[in-house]
Amino acid sequence: MPDSSANSDLSLALDGAGGDEPPTSQRAVEAASQPMVVFDNVSISFNGRAVLEDVSFSVDRGRTLCILGRSGVGKSVALRILMGFLKPDSGSVRVDGQEITGLDEEGMQTVRKRITMVFQNGALFDSLSVRENIAFPLRERGGLDEDQVQQIVQRLIGMVGAEDVEDELPASLSTGRRRAVAIARALAAQPEVVLYDEPTTMVDPIIARRLGGIIQRLKRQLGFTSIVVTHDMRFAERLADTVLFLHEGHATFFGPLAEFLATTDPHIRQFLTLDEYLLPTS
């Protein structure tokens, strides 16, 4: 696995160390200079219907991309392609310079050690407590004694504000709490890239702001590269460095958040206006 100066060891990062060291090798310098994720003219169809057509974007290391658009435009499909759950019909997908579209399942397992996904439903183990859910990927990864596992778990629980439910089962938690725990468990896997699939779906605005704060804080403290699929413009405004807007399978905008908000593209203006109508600020 290539070196990662931003998040080479989660236990060090959680202690506030290891995230600010400059690269010490030419390999690290070269890795830091290239995008962490690249989609290049990616297309995929289902039952003869094009879902993504020649979609291109990139995400720099340590930055956050928000993928926006109406329902059914392929936002979540892009995440599933990146995880290797779907194979594109054409185009290139690269992670830290490595082409992944031709990898078999064994090859993708290696990639998934670097990329993790927070699903809408949380995908937590129903029979395990919050604490045990977060500990699971640490134990599966190996290399830590139980005291180290528990120290990291306790820090992650604190970072997502789950101290009062750490011994509860997922079924007893609200949707927002399950999402926060799912984020903590995803980070315990020590990824370099974190994918979030509609993290604010079915939660109220207060919980949405809280989840946004968690994602923002973890990115700042641990240096993750993040891709967030969302329909919630206020959530995106809080998190995004860059925005990808999908409309009818095409990437009609890719660029900085400020330029997205200022664009005159009629489809984007309609999307923004609808968002304001559906989610009033009062």
CA separation for the pair 3, 8 (Å, rounded)? 7
Per-residue confidence band for 14, with pLDDT thresholds at 50, 70 and 90? low
Mean per-residue pLDDT for 49-76? 93
Please check whether residue 1 lies inside any domain of the structure: no
pLDDT tens digits, 110-166: 999 899 998 877 678 999 999 999 999 899 887 888 999 999 999 999 888 889 999
pLDDT tens digits, 29-59: 455 568 999 999 999 999 989 999 999 999 9
Residue with tokens 């290391």: 61
For the cut 50, the answer to whether the pLDDT of residue 275 exceeds it is yes
Mean per-residue pLDDT for 184-188? 88
Specify the pLDDT at position 216: 84
Specify the pLDDT at position 202: 78
For the cut 80, the answer to whether the pLDDT of residue 17 exceeds it is no
Please check whether residue 5 lies inside any domain of the structure: no
Please check whether residue 25 lies inside any domain of the structure: no
Q: Domain count for the chain, please give it.
A: 1
For the cut 80, the answer to whether the pLDDT of residue 282 exceeds it is no
Burial class, 127, CB count within 10 angstroms (exposed 0-12 / middle 13-18 / buried 19+): exposed
pLDDT tens digits, 218-273: 778 778 899 999 988 888 998 999 999 999 999 999 999 999 999 999 999 999 88
Please check whether residue 246 lies inside any domain of the structure: yes
Specify the pLDDT at position 217: 81
Please check whether residue 26 lies inside any domain of the structure: no
Please check whether residue 212 lies inside any domain of the structure: yes
Please check whether residue 166 lies inside any domain of the structure: yes
Please check whether residue 167 lies inside any domain of the structure: yes
Specify the pLDDT at position 30: 52
Per-residue confidence band for 93, with pLDDT thresholds at 50, 70 and 90? very high
Specify the pLDDT at position 187: 86
User: pLDDT > 90: what percent of the chain?
Assistant: 54
pLDDT tens digits, 171-182: 998 888 888 899
Check which CATH number belongs to the domain holding 89 and give it: 3.40.50.300
| Structural domain span for residue 193 | 10-19+32-278
Specify the pLDDT at position 15: 52
